[in-house]
Amino acid sequence: MNKRKICIGGAQFGNPYGISNQTKKKISFYELNKIFKLIHYSKINYLDTAFDYDLSVSVKKINFNFNNINIITKIPYRYFKEKDYLEIIEKKLKKDLNKFKIKRFYGVLIHDFINFKKKDKNKIKNTLEYLIKKKLTKKIGLSIYHQKEFYNFREIIKPNIVQGPVNLFDNSMIKNNFLKFLEDEKIEFHARSIFLQGLLLMDPNNLPNYFVKWSKYFSHLKMWSLKNNISIYNASLLYVCSFKNIKKIIVGFQTCNQLGEFINFKSKKKISFDKIINFDYPKKLIKPYYWKTSEKK
């Protein structure tokens, strides 16, 4: 794996994360220290976090200098519904900067932009311009599920960074030469959810109840991987690495060994993904915001 492409996902460091994390246990501080020692040794210098990731306790207890790390954080769209949204956002960003002991973020993105309302356009534009002016961040952008979200955002302000899902079940970011368009616009694209929150790596017989009705897709993926003599893990990495205009690949880890395996990935196997990626997968399967809705019912 090209280490310059790796961006460490911080979601798992503060809370149990991912649909495949059935134990719901936090990473121990012992393991977390091992992970960050390997990050330092491997000279990986990008970290993805968010307002909703509870990293405060973890960051205090690990012995790590974040000065050489480019940290990207994300503002949930709901913050713009607050009356004093700008004050609240600025206060939170400054608190997090102090927590990491850094002067500014590499990027501040808006996520849950699928909930965008046109009446909030000026709020968003003024906030992001303010954050740049105050040097709280070097770059701005958004995290998306659909290309339409990007074009809505682009009408407000040009982003420097776009995060989006790229995996064997969800190639929505690949369609219509979207990645090439972003590259031509000098907009960084960072791929996330490359294992669909670990769902793709699960045994088809052990899927959470919500996904059982789509077990045929997982069984097909398993049979395809066996036929091509490649693990689903390696196939997922091979797929996302095949796109040269993906600048960063965001992945979270629960153990140091997982990070080591990711770093050491060097497969040059050439296979066709057509029989996997060309399915019309249901949105309720591949878009995690539907999963949250189902959990509330």
Could you tell me if 47 and 69 are in contact, meaning their C-beta atoms sit under 8 angstroms apart? yes
Query: In sequence order, what are the residues at sequence separation of 6 or more whose Cβ sits closer than 8 angstroms to the Cβ of residue 113?
Result: 77, 142, 143, 144, 149, 152, 153
Listed residue (65, 137, 73) closest to 101, CA to CA = 65
Write down the pLDDT at residue 53: 84
Span 207-234, mean pLDDT?
A: 96
Burial class (CB in 10 A: 0-12, 13-18, 19+), 19: middle
Listed residue (248, 242, 140) closest to 189, CA to CA = 248
Listed residue (133, 126, 137, 56) closest to 93, CA to CA = 137
Span 223-244, mean pLDDT?
A: 96
Residue 61's pLDDT band (cuts 50, 70, 90): confident
- Structural domain boundaries in the chain: 3-296
d(C-alpha 158, C-alpha 187), whole Å: 9
pTM of the full structure? 0.93
pLDDT digits (tens, 9 = 90+) for 193-207: 999 999 999 999 999
Query: What is the overall mean pLDDT for the chain?
Result: 91
Span 181-195, mean pLDDT?
A: 97
pLDDT above 70 for 227: yes
Residue 296's pLDDT band (cuts 50, 70, 90): very low
Exposure class string for 88-97: b at 16+ Cβ within 10 A, else e: ebbeebeebb
pLDDT digits (tens, 9 = 90+) for 126-169: 999 999 999 999 999 999 999 999 999 999 999 999 999 999 99
Write down the pLDDT at residue 123: 96
Distance in Å from the first CA to the final CA of the chain: 41
What percent of the chain has a predicted confidence (pLDDT) above 70?
A: 93
Span 25-44, mean pLDDT?
A: 89
d(C-alpha 127, C-alpha 80), whole Å: 9
| CA dist list (Å): 119 to 36, 77, 82, 122 | 42, 13, 13, 7
| CA dist list (Å): 278 to 169, 174, 177, 211, 273 | 9, 12, 16, 20, 8
Write down the pLDDT at residue 77: 96
Fold for the domain defined by 3-296:
TIM Barrel (3.20.20)
pLDDT above 90 for 285: yes
